[in-house]
Structure formats: structure tokens, C-alpha cells
């Protein structure tokens, strides 16, 4: 079952989501929600989806970055982004610790702001403690693109969107990004878009 992805302006995208108890996590309601979110993410397609994006103010997010999503990137682009396939997994009640300063910037998009992208500074490495879909504790240490996805999705659970962190000069339609910026080296993008004093 596919769920409707809400867009910017929806109240669920701007509130801090509710924590889930183990009993709630194991309930048919949440187990079904996880499956429906998985179907929705793959249908979109995207690499992450948080419950607030489907109108549910719950501390729940899913992540999956399939190898097939990366086929349009060159080996150089994949290396620069430190991007590798990530299997499907669930994060509930996550707590994130930045292990490096938020000084790595790349273009990000969001299923709740369709058609646009912008450069967002993120930490290169993070540690996340959360519960999985069985209510069991998990700990993740991630770098590169995986760390970026984690930061993006966990932001959603706190009512924060990438546009709150973006370099505003870089905000672009997907079409213009593809036409003018997609193939540019990161150093050039940083020079063009870093906020000016």
C-alpha cells in the first residue's frame, strides 16, 4: 500500500514527533505503517522516509539506498560523496551524535519538497542509537552519504527540513540543477554557493 507523501507546509513536518514504546512498536498499527512506508519509499523512489512525511508525528524513519539509484553517478561522484548501497532498515526514537563538524556540503532533495534541491552542510560522520522494528536497540556509525541520509531523516523527526540548513544561494529546481550544476566538481559548487559574509 502506498501512502500520500505530504509537502512542505503540512503541520506534521514542523513538529517534534512522539516517542514510541516497545508495545507500540510491536503493534499491528506500527508494523503495518513500516511496511506501507517501505512501499511508498520504493515507489517514490527515495533513499529515506520519515513518518512525519506521511502525516504521522512519530519517531520513526526508514532508510534504503539501492545500488540501482546510484547508476547515474560516475565513479568519481560516488567516491566524492562516499556513497555506497545501504540495505533497508528502520530507525525508531533515534538519538544522533555528530562525530565531525557539519562542513561537508552537497546537493540534497526531499520527497516533501518535490522538484527542488539545495546544497546542505552536514557532518561527514555520525553515531546513531535507536530501536529497530522489533524494539531492539541498535547503534550505527556512518560516514559520507549514509551519514547525510541519517541526519536528513532524523531532522524530519524534530520538525526540521533541509531548507532550514541549506545554503540559500544554491536553491534550485531539479531541472536547472541537472542542466547547470550536477556535473560540476564539489569545490566549484562550494566556491559558487558558500554563504557570503
* Core vs surface per residue 119-149: b (16+ CB within 10 A) or e: bbbbbbbbebebbebebeeeebebbbbbbbb
User: How far out from the chain centre does Cα 117 lie?
Assistant: 13
CB–CB of 130/91 below 8 Å?
Answer: yes
Catalytic residue among 95, 97, 153, 188: 153
34 dihedral zone (left: phi>0; alpha: psi -120 to 50; beta): alpha
For residue 141, what is the enclosing H or E element? strand 137-143
- Annotated catalytic residue 153: yes
Active site residues: 153
Amino acid at each position: 500500500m502506498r501512502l500520500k507523501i505530504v509537502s512542505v507546509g503540512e503541520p506534521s513536518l514542523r513538529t517534534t514527533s512522539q516517542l514510541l514504546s516497545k508495545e507500540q512498536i510491536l503493534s499491528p498499527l506500527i508494523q503495518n505503517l513500516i511496511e506501507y512506508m517501505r512501499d511508498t519509499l520504493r515507489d517514490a523512489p527515495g533513499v529515506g522516509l520519515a513518518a512525519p512525511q506521511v502525516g504521522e508525528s512519530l519517531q520513526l524513519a526508514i532508510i534504503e539506498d539501492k545500488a540501482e539509484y546510484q547508476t547515474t553517478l560516475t565513479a568519481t561522484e560516488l567516491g566524492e560523496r562516499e556513497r555506497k548501497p545501504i540495505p533497508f532498515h528502520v530507525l525508531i526514537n533515534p538519538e544522533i551524535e555528530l562525530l565531525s563538524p557539519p562542513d561537508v556540503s552537497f546537493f540534497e532533495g526531499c520527497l516533501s519538497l518535490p522538484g527542488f534541491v539545495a546544497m546542505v552542510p552536514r557532518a561527514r560522520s555520525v553515531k546513531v542509537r535507536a530501536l529497530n522494528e522489533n524494539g531492539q536497540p541498535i547503534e550505527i556509525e556512518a560516514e559520507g552519504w549514509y551519514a547525510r541520509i541519517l541526519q536528513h531523516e532524523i531532522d524530519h523527526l524534530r520538525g526540521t527540513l533541509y531548507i532550514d540548513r541549506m545554503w540559500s544561494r544554491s536553491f534550485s529546481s531539479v531541472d536547472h540543477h541537472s542542466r547547470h550544476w550536477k556535473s560540476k566538481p564539489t569545490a566549484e559548487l562550494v566556491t559558487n554557493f558558500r554563504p557570503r559574509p
